[in-house]
Amino acid sequence: MLEHVPAWLGSLLKNVRAGHAKLAIVQQDLGLTQLAIELSSPAFADGQRLPVRFTADGEGSSPPLVWNAVPPETACLALLVEDPDAPAPNPLVHALVWALPPDTNRLAEGEILPDGAGSDDGRDVGRNSYLGEGWLPPDPPTGHGPHDYVFQLFALSEAPQLGENPGRSEFVRAITGRVLAAGVLIGTYSRGEAAQTPTAEVAGLRPAGA
């Protein structure tokens, strides 16, 4: 895990980051022009630091999420959580959930768990960047600076056709052309450093007044 990277190495890698431009939600192929879903958490404010219990320094459970009504033609919802500040070629995936029923409006704390072939209501939890199902607790390298953890919720016009335990690339291909609306929520985390303001690439997509 990245929490074991020495502080001196984390500092040397401080400017090595995947980049916010690689987040799924800002990819032009999706055809998304604005964020119409208000995504939030009762556990932290948008752009603020994640409580320790949701990270590798605590219990490592997934945070609770809530959102408002989605377009009436929504067939299902999907959630992708990425870290664009990871010292890697692409953002790290911390959670992937798809086929959430359209009348779902929340995920409880700790609800993003391994579920094998999926749940009775059709939802399925995919694999994170460490190739395991469920929530991957944030564990940025010491000295690397603040990391954004970008929660991206997509309302889809039809359920994506995905194989068992798909990864990020397969998921993004499957939802391209099917996104009706989306919402974004950013939590930050670092070891020994303050939180940072959400990046302009993502903030520019927010609805007026959000």
- Its CATH class, for the domain covering 2-203, is alpha beta
Spatial distance between the Cα atoms of 34 and 14, rounded to a whole number of angstroms: 31
Look up residue 203 and give its DSSP letter. Answer: H
Kindly state the percentage of the chain with pLDDT values over 70: 82
Question: Which of 5-9, 144-148, 168-172 has the weakest average pLDDT?
Answer: 5-9
Spatial distance between the Cα atoms of 83 and 92, rounded to a whole number of angstroms: 5
For 83-101, the DSSP string reads ETTSSSSSPEEEEEEEEE-
Spatial distance between the Cα atoms of 155 and 71, rounded to a whole number of angstroms: 7
Residues 6+ apart with CB under 8 A from 33: none
Residues 6+ apart with CB under 8 A from 94: 81, 82, 83, 128, 129, 135, 136, 137, 138, 149
| Residue 195 confidence (pLDDT) above 70 | no
| Residue 152 confidence (pLDDT) above 50 | yes
Of 200, 198, 191, 202, whose CA–CA distance to 3 is shortest?
191
- The domains of the chain are located at 2-203
pLDDT tens, 57-67?
999 999 999 99
pTM given for the model:
0.86
